[in-house]
């Protein structure tokens, strides 16, 4: 991968000379910073940022993102000299590079935490969609060179790619990138299934490929005859991981899958898409119920096309997809394609088929409502950048544990909220906290992306002052419960015993009262009074009074009472 190639791409896109100089400066800085470093493949390290930058340039991302891609790993060891980069390249580049570095801290463990919340968090920490795009392309190159890593790392990274990165790319409408990430991960995550699939489908893929090549000229001829303008007719074969997923839904039966192979026609206007659909249906009859109009009703990720499945020659089922060039670019590059339009194709906007570009009017990316905002025509570049900031998780913040696990908390949360979320014991025994390596007070307000560490001391008890600043209901509940326990304990100690009243709600049954009193008897506690309130006939309220020696005795009793058959609820009150 040579730097010349990157410059050639940028030149072809007619970017200003100043932009080329800027990128060159970033390249030299990165080459210097990575001098002597090698990738696990043995390649000089600079190959990696250069490959990332080149891909982003091909996707027509703005010059700043391309430059940030070149610099993105120069801060890797946390000792990033942000001010150095800021001085040399400006605040925006420093912000992008820092964002990528922040995202690097996140680790997906594939355990109890849902992948979905991790994806959202990824976007929230990304702040600027360009950081997310950079990270996705960065991951693509890392996946392409995964074979050089030790097997354990391969598996972890591939799984993370499959669960987080690929779906994220898909959500952003970048289906080409998403498919590539999936197919690169597939053999590492499901090696046996992958081998099986390749073995079983090899012949089928070849047969289908040949068949499509044979029928393509028939279709082309028909379109020409009807004077339909089209730019390209291409065949596409379903990518492996997508086929695997589909097979899982269809009893692993290849015969049940009709869209392994498809013909894709790129046309010049929306009208021609519909006209061509009619012509195809005259040529080959459609399978009823298989016509999908994603132009009128785009997929949630913004995908638009017409799909139909027809009975082709020899009665083979063939899927045919029709779309305009804009739709095609959007289908392949999603959000990145739109970014490119706004930046470099503004001038030609007027000449374009309005329906082809009315991206903003569609319910695109409904998942990310804020992104709709920047899909509207924005004239002012500053405003445009501002609108790229993702702040749609206004009421939630995502912070990290020292191991890189993600914790999702209400906005305004403090280290105490964090501690209770990790574990009740961590909350109860918390004595101090570090945020991003620095000591902070326990009421410190956490921010998105903070790395939080809690210092604990055995035997410590929560302070009622904490109730003044905690934000999460979870922490509040747990603090109150502990404080109550401590208070009760003090009462027991003061009097050497306490009179307690138990309130038990249970469904009435024969022998209920006997079972309850037995529990007291077995613990050698004498009952001092018992009342049964039968206002609710089926669920009587039973009230028992007894004197207990200490809090432990009380807790043991509570546990036993709750275990009695048909008991629904047990509460207690100390009477002194």
Residues assigned a catalytic role: 76-77
- Cβ 80 vs Cβ 98: under 8 Å: yes
CA angle centred on 511, ends 509 and 516, rounded to 5°: 105
The H or E element that residue 542 is part of is strand 541-548
Residue with tokens 């025994």: 429
3-class secondary-structure state, position 543: strand
* Closest distance to Mn ion from the beta carbon of 76 (Å): 8
User: Nearest approach, Cβ of 72 to Mn ion (angstroms)?
Assistant: 6
Distance CA(418)–CA(399), nearest Å, equals 9
Instruction: Please identify, using beta-carbon distances, which residue of 1 and 455 lies nearer to Mn ion.
Output: 1
The owner of tokens 């009893």 is 251
Round to whole Å and give the CA distance between 456 and 282: 75
- The site for Mn ion, by CB under 5 A, has a size of 2
SS3 content of the chain, % helix, strand, coil (to 5): 55, 15, 30
Q: At what angle do helices 151-160 and 175-189 cross, to 10 degrees?
A: 140
* Per-residue CA distances from 336 to 130, 310, 362, 463 (Å): 9, 33, 17, 50
Report in angstroms how near the CB of residue 185 gets to Mn ion at its nearest.
17
State the virtual CA torsion across 453, 459, 465, 469 in degrees, nearest 10.
30
Nearest Cα to 310, choosing from 249, 255, 262? Answer: 262
CB closer to Mn ion, 138 vs 272: 138
Q: CB nearer to Mn ion: give 50 or 121.
A: 50
| Number of residues that make up the chain | 576
174: β partners: none
Nearer to Mn ion (CB atom), residue 73 or residue 498: 73
Asked if 98 touches Mn ion (CB under 5 A), the answer is no
Maximum pairwise Cα distance, the chain? 102
Q: For residues 405-444, which are near Mn ion according to CB under 5 A?
A: none
Q: How far is Cα 44 from Cα 34, in angstroms, rounded to an integer?
A: 8
Give the nearest distance from C-beta 145 to Mn ion in angstroms: 11
What is the SS3 assignment for 359? helix
Site for Mn ion in 100-159 (CB under 5 A): 138
Burial of 574 (0-12, 13-18, 19+ CB in 10 A): middle
CA nearest to 231, candidates 274, 280, 271, 264:
264
Q: Which residue bears the tokens 């990290």?
A: 400
Decide: 419 and 455 in contact? Cβ < 8 Å. no
| Site for Mn ion, residues 54 to 73, rule: CB under 5 A | 73
Q: What are phi and psi of 378, to 5 degrees?
A: -115, 125
Residues 6+ apart with CB under 8 A from 334: 169, 172, 173, 174, 175, 301, 302
Q: Which is nearer to Mn ion, 39 or 239 (CB)?
A: 39
Q: Which long-range contacts (CB under 8 A, 24 or more apart) does 164-167 make?
A: 164/108, 164/115, 164/118, 164/119, 164/122, 165/135, 165/136, 165/139, 167/115, 167/119
**Residue with nearest beta carbon to Mn ion:** 138
Distance in Å, CB of 186 to Mn ion, minimum: 22
Task: Give the shortest CB-62-to-Mn ion separation in angstroms.
Answer: 19
Query: Taking the complex as a whole, how short is the minimal distance between the CB of residue 436 and Mn ion, in angstroms?
Result: 21
Residue 97 CB, nearest approach to Mn ion (Å)? 11
| Phi then psi dihedrals of residue 389, to 5 deg | -65, 130
Q: Rounded to the nearest whole angstrom, what is the least distance from the CB of residue 16 to Mn ion in the complex?
A: 27
User: Interior CA angle at 437 toward 432 and 450, to 5°?
Assistant: 90
Handedness of CA 417, 419, 424, 430 (dihedral sign): negative
Least distance to Mn ion, CB of residue 53, Å? 11
30 in Cβ contact with 45 (< 8 Å): no
Contacts with 434 (C-beta within 8 Å, 6 or more apart), sequence order: 440, 452, 453, 455
Residue 109 beta carbon to Mn ion: minimum distance, rounded to whole angstroms: 21
Q: Can you give the binding site for Mn ion, defined by CB under 5 A? A: 73, 138
């Amino acid at each position: 991968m040579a730097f010349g190639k990157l410059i050639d791409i940028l030149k072809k896109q007619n970017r200003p000379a100043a932009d080329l100089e800027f990128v060159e400066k970033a390249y030299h800085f990165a080459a210097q910073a990575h001098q002597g470093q090698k990738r696990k493949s043995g390649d000089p390290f600079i190959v990696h940022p250069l490959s990332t930058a080149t891909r982003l340039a091909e996707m027509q991302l703005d010059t700043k993102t391309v430059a940030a891609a070149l610099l993105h790993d120069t801060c890797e060891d946390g000792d990033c000299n942000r001010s150095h980069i800021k001085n040399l390249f400006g605040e925006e580049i420093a912000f992008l590079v820092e964002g990528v570095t922040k995202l690097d801290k996140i680790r997906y463990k594939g355990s109890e935490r849902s992948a979905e919340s991790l994806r959202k968090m990824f976007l929230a920490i990304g702040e600027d969609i360009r950081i997310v795009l950079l990270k996705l392309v960065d991951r693509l190159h890392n996946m392409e060179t995964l074979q050089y890593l030790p097997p354990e790392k391969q598996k972890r990274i591939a799984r993370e790619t499959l669960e987080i990165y690929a779906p994220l790319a898909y959500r952003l409408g970048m289906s080409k990138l998403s498919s590539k990430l999936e197919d690169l991960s597939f053999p590492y995550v499901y090696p046996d299934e992958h081998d099986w699939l390749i073995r079983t489908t090899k012949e089928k893929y070849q047969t289908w490929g040949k068949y499509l090549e044979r029928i393509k000229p028939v279709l082309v001829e028909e379109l020409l005859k009807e004077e339909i303008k089209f730019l390209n007719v291409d065949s596409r074969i379903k990518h492996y991981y997508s086929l695997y997923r589909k097979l899982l839904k269809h009893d692993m039966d290849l015969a049940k899958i009709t869209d392994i192979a498809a013909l894709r026609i790129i046309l010049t206007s929306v009208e021609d898409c519909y006209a061509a659909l009619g012509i195809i249906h005259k040529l080959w009859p459609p399978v009823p119920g298989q016509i999908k109009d994603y132009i009128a009703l785009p997929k949630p990720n913004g995908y638009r096309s017409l799909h139909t499945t027809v009975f082709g020659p020899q009665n083979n089922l063939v899927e045919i997809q029709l779309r305009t060039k804009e739709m095609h670019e959007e289908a392949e590059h999603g959000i990145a394609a739109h970014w490119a339009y706004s930046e470099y194709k503004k001038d030609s906007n007027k000449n374009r088929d309005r329906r082809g570009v009315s991206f903003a009017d569609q319910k695109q990316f409904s998942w990310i409502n804020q992104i709709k905002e920047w899909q509207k025509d924005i004239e002012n570049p500053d405003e445009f950048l501002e609108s790229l900031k993702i702040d749609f998780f206004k009421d939630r913040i995502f912070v990290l544990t020292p191991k890189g696990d993600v914790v999702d908390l209400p906005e305004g949360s403090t280290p105490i909220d964090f501690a209770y979320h990790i574990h009740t014991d961590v909350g109860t025994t918390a004595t101090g906290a570090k945020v991003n390596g620095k000591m902070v007070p326990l009421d410190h307000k956490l921010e998105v992306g903070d790395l939080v560490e809690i210092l604990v001391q055995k035997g410590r008890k929560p302070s009622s002052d904490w109730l003044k600043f905690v934000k999460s209901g979870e922490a509040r509940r747990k603090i109150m419960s502990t404080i109550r326990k401590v208070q009760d304990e003090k009462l027991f100690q003061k009097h050497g015993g306490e009179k307690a009243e138990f309130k038990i709600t249970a469904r009435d049954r024969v022998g209920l009262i006997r079972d309850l009193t037995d529990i007291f008897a077995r613990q050698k506690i004498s009952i001092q009074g018992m009342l049964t309130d039968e206002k609710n006939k089926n669920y009587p309220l039973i009230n028992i009074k007894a004197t207990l020696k200490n809090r432990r005795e009380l807790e043991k009793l509570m546990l036993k009472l709750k275990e009695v058959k048909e008991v629904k609820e047990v509460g207690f009150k100390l009477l002194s």
